Structure 1
Amino acid sequence: MREVSKYGKTVDLAVSSALEELNATVDQVEVTVIERPRGGFLGIGSRKALVSVTLKKTPFDSGIDFLRNLIEKMDISAHIQVSDKSGRICRCQFVGRDVSQLIGRHGQTLNALQYLANLVVNKNSDHRMTLILDAENYRETRKKALISLADRVAERVAKTGKAYRFEPMPSFERKIIHSELAGNSKVKTFSFGEEPRRYVTVALSDN
């Protein structure tokens, strides 16, 4: 957790200065007043207010701590960088020498880590929050591969009339396939199964 100490003519001004440095709002921090301002006599003995302001731990912090402990136990040389944390979505990157080990075949290891981290995040939250993990720009590469695969599968289904079942994948990957084929009048898509084994099936359209 980040903590800063600030002086100010008043407690409010000192807190405001700390919030600006932390890029936070007052409801996201804990404030401790170390010294209250004193006017003194003719300016002699006067002092400014001193406060200590600490960012509260968020559900995302719990998920990130979980991941850090996990990769440490896996003895993998990697660390986590938070690229964006706003509202109910947090985007993180694995960075380091061994990050390829955290991706796995078709991103299965990365997806499993993301799934577990989100269980931790939402266990500590009263509303739905999403932590998105990436490594070596894998998500964008995977998205392009899924779009290409979806188009090939649609062409194959339209030609043979036989439905095609994808391997299980997380909801955000299934959404890529559904979105890509939504405008294809020759095929239709469905999702079946229970998380985390839910999968997409592409079938011939009724049209």
Structure 2
Amino acid sequence: METSALEEPATVRPAPGNELPTQDQLEVEGDVAADYIEELLDIADLDGDIDITVRAGRAYVSVTASGDANVRVLSKPDTVAALQELTRIAVQTKTGNFSRLILDVGGSRDARAAELAVLVERAVGRIEEGATSAALPPMSSYERKLVHDIVAERGFVSESEGEGADRHTVIRRA
């Protein structure tokens, strides 16, 4: 079956009943991603060590560097998000399977998690002062999941609302 250049490629999704990839598939995904990131670092003449872990049905690829290595130029949230999407596309191209891998560069994920915790604290503060709900800005599904976890730990409830790039989290009392 031929497709025109204007048609979107079909997204490869797991077969029903097999939503989560196997440990072996995730390890292959991590290896492909690490190879892609390593090539990118070489092209950009950046130093960094790559670590691959598999947990909770996802491959996690971390790029770290010691001292004043220049990998920090890639650790801005928007840059990490773009690199993660490019890496996911590279994995999908190589394996034929949709990838949900998470990329971390220079501790950017921990830094973003701390920023999200501050956002949640401010929102919870508004609710404790009498607001019925508090909406956070749009963010990725991964970030929304982190927010939902933080909110639940605080004893509040949250849900995602909106579509596409406008999807955001709304927090309410339990």
TM-score by length of 1: 0.54
* SS across alignment from 2:139: coil
- The aligned residue for residue 133 of structure 1 is 103
The partner residue of 1:94 within 63, 86, 107 is 63
- Structure with the higher helix share, 1 or 2: 2
**Structure 2: runs of 5 or more not aligned:** 1-23
Superposed, which structure 2 residues align to 1:152-171 within 5 Å?
152-158=122-128, 159-161=130-132, 163-166=134-137, 168-171=138-141
CA 1:131–1:63 in 2, change beyond 3 Å: closer, same or farther?
same
Contact 1:191 1:200 (C-alpha < 8 Å) held by counterparts:
yes
- For 1:164, the aligned partner's letter is A
Number of residues of Structure 1 aligned to a counterpart in Structure 2? 145
- The aligned residue for residue 121 of structure 1 is 91
Once the two structures are superposed, residues 65-116 of structure 1 have per-residue CA deviations (whole angstroms, 9 ceiling, x without a partner) of 332333344x342234124258963332223411211111xx2211221122
Separation of aligned partners in 1, 2:161 and 2:56: 28
Once the two structures are superposed, residues 176-199 of structure 1 have per-residue CA deviations (whole angstroms, 9 ceiling, x without a partner) of 1112224667664324232xx353
- Structure with the higher strand share, 1 or 2: 1
Separation of aligned partners in 2, 1:133 and 1:170: 13
**Structure 1: runs of 5 or more not aligned:** 1-27, 29-56
TM-score by length of 2: 0.62
Once the two structures are superposed, residues 90-143 of structure 1 have per-residue CA deviations (whole angstroms, 9 ceiling, x without a partner) of 332223411211111xx2211221122112213333555433222333323332
CA 1:165–1:130 in 2, change beyond 3 Å: closer, same or farther?
closer
* SS across alignment from 2:85: helix
